[in-house]
């Protein structure tokens, strides 16, 4: 589906988080933009001067750095990379949910034969769709949205008058690569696209075209090229999830977990903060949780959890360590069973993060292809300007501080 903020693909390995403690480098750098003042804070290539930071306490400076990091990610199309710690935990949770569903089915004796029979009564579809999209997100001004709808309607009129859909899509559609593909998308299943798009496509017969429809991205015209039934083997994860939800099975799941965590031991030194960076924090039969594993997980958590851990709150430390160990046990079990996160769930996870960043970008004014200087200006404005939406965005950004401080190097420089 079209992304509100496109993601730039990369062949690089996932970046190793720099934990939640950022490098504090001393030194003087060159001038930011046209200013001749020395930089006092630098986020990747975006620099803030001593004068701009005057009167700002450390929490405000770090909030400024986080807002700038959002701008850089939007500008460089690295939204997924920015949220990797959050996305990784969401994938972990989705994999554990898959394991829970399988345990529920096993405990109640639901076999694949039962699942197959249920699926054959209501099979899934895979659709091949072409579309024209004129981007106009719902937060845009009414005039912008009205113009976008009119452009989509004009494209529909051209196609209804006999012009080739692919040709019109190549000329009008604002999705990257639309011209080369004639508006053709990768085949999609339920969950691949946003709800309005999927429902409009599913209502069509091959060769049919939709009216103008609206999604969170803008205004679309769809043409269904083909539809085919998904095999049970490919759809099994979704069928299993649906049946498991109806069963419930909470007691069986909790009993299964208790059996596997009864011998879980957390290192007392880890609870009191007396580790050296190489410690095994928790052990259980057949596995362990290293400090390195735990610290890679920590940036994906909300700031309140991380703060409680770093201020030597022993109760919070124990809880976070036990949660991390339990997650490691369950993820290990899921992988041993060959379970994976379904594609539709992976798409949902990424889409939710993209929506979050898109909402921040809209409030702060960040857009693709912006200059470092423009990001600097908007970040400063976003830190201090008033308004309900800004207050909400700043609160959400602060909550996600551990993640937003990982992707880009934040340098606090000597103020001379």
How high is the pLDDT of residue 15? 35
154-174: average pLDDT: 96
- For position 274, what pLDDT does the model report? 64
pLDDT tops 90 at residue 317 = no
pLDDT score, position 414:
62
Task: Name the packing angle between helices 303-310 and 314-336 (round to 10°).
Answer: 120
Return the CATH class of domain 125-229.
alpha beta
- Poorest-pLDDT segment among 111-120, 166-175, 221-230, 269-278: 269-278
State the average pLDDT over residues 298-325: 89
Please tell me the predicted confidence (pLDDT) of residue 128: 97
**Residue of 377, 380, 408 lying closest to 394 (CA atoms):** 380
Q: Which residue has the higher pLDDT, 249 or 2?
A: 249
pLDDT confidence of residue 249: 85
- pLDDT of 2 over the 70 cut: no
Question: Which residue from 336, 394, 406, 412 is spatially nearest to 72, judged by alpha carbons?
Answer: 406
Average pLDDT score, the chain: 88
Report d(CA 17, CA 330) in Å as an integer: 23
For the chain, how long is the longest CA-to-CA vector? 75
State pLDDT tens for residues 255-279.
999 998 899 999 887 777 666 667 8
Domain ranges of the chain: 39-82+343-412, 84-110+250-336, 125-229
Q: What is the pLDDT of residues 18-46, one digit of tens each?
A: 323 333 222 222 333 444 567 889 999 99
Whether the pLDDT of residue 17 is over 70: the answer is: no
pLDDT of residue 30: 33
**pLDDT in the model for residue 121:** 92
Mark out the alpha helices in 77-111 (DSSP H runs): 79-82, 84-107
What percent of the chain is modeled with pLDDT above 70?
A: 89
Task: Please state which of the ranges 154-168, 176-190, 195-209 shows the lowest mean pLDDT.
Answer: 176-190
In degrees rounded to 5, what are phi and psi of residue 54? -60, 130
Tell me the per-residue pLDDT of 322-336, one tens digit each, with 9 for 90 and over.
999 999 999 999 999
Residue 204 DSSP code? P
Which tops the pLDDT comparison, 200 or 27?
200
Alpha-carbon distance values, 218 to 49, 55, 125, 402, 407 (Å):
39, 42, 25, 32, 30
How far apart (Å, rounded) are the C-alpha atoms in residues 414 and 416?
Answer: 6
* The pLDDT of residue 309: 83
| Confidence band of 415 (pLDDT split at 50, 70, 90) | low
Rounded distance, CA 131 to CA 215, Å?
Answer: 13
Question: What is the model's pLDDT at position 314?
Answer: 85
- Residue 162, classified by CB atoms within 10 Å of its CB into exposed (0-12), middle (13-18) or buried (19+), is exposed
pLDDT recorded at residue 90: 97
Residue 1, pLDDT > 80, answer no
Q: Is the pLDDT of residue 111 over 60?
A: yes
Residue 6 has pLDDT above 80, yes or no: no
pLDDT at 276: 64
User: pLDDT band for position 205 (50/70/90)?
Assistant: very high
Long-range Cβ contact pairs of 297-300 (< 8 A, separation 24 or more): 297/85, 297/88, 297/89, 297/324, 297/327, 298/19, 298/20, 298/402, 299/17, 299/19, 299/20, 299/85, 299/402, 299/403, 299/405, 299/406, 300/85, 300/86, 300/87, 300/88, 300/89, 300/402, 300/403
Q: What is the pLDDT, as a whole number, of residue 277?
A: 63
């Amino acid at each position: 589906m079209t992304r509100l903020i496109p993601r730039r693909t990369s062949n690089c390995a996932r970046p190793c988080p720099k934990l939640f403690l950022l490098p504090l480098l001393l030194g003087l750098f060159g001038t930011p933009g046209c200013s001749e003042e020395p930089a006092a804070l630098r986020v990747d290539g975006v620099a803030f001067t001593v004068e701009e930071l005057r009167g700002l306490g450390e929490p405000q400076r770090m909030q400024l750095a986080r807002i700038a990091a959002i701008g850089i990610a939007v500008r460089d199309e690295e939204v997924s990379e920015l949220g990797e710690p959050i996305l990784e935990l969401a994938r972990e949770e989705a994999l554990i949910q898959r394991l829970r569903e399988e345990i529920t089915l096993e405990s109640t004796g639901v076999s694949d034969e039962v699942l197959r029979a249920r699926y054959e009564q209501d099979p899934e579809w895979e659709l091949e769709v072409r579309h024209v999209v004129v981007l106009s997100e719902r937060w845009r001004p009414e005039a912008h949205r009205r113009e976008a709808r009119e452009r989509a309607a004009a494209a529909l009129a051209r196609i209804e008058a006999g012009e080739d859909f692919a040709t019109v899509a190549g000329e009008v559609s604002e999705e990257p690569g639309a011209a080369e593909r004639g508006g053709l998308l990768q085949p999609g299943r339920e969950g691949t696209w946003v709800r309005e798009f999927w429902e409009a496509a599913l209502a069509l017969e091959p060769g049919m075209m939709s009216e103008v429809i609206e999604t969170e991205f803008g205004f679309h015209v769809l043409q269904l090229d083909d539809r085919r039934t998904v095999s049970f083997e490919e759809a099994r994860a979704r069928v299993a999830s649906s049946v498991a939800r109806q069963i419930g099975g909470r007691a069986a799941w909790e009993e299964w977990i208790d059996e596997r965590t009864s011998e879980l031991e957390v290192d007392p030194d880890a609870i009191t903060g007396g580790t050296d960076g190489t410690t095994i924090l928790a052990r259980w039969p057949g596995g362990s949780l290293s400090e390195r594993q735990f610290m890679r997980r920590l940036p994906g958590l909300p700031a309140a959890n991380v703060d409680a851990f770093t201020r030597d709150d022993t109760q919070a430390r124990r809880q976070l360590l036990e949660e991390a160990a339990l997650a490691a046990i369950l993820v290990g079990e899921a992988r041993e069973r060959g379970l994976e996160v379904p594609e539709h769930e992976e798409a949902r996870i990424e889409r939710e993060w993209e929506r979050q960043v898109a909402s921040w970008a809209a409030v702060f004014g960040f857009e693709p292809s912006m200059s470092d200087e423009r990001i600097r200006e908007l970040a400063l404005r976003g830190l201090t300007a008033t308004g309900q939406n800004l207050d909400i965005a700043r609160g959400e950004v602060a909550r996600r501080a551990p993640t937003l401080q990982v992707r880009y190097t934040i340098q606090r420089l000597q103020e001379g």
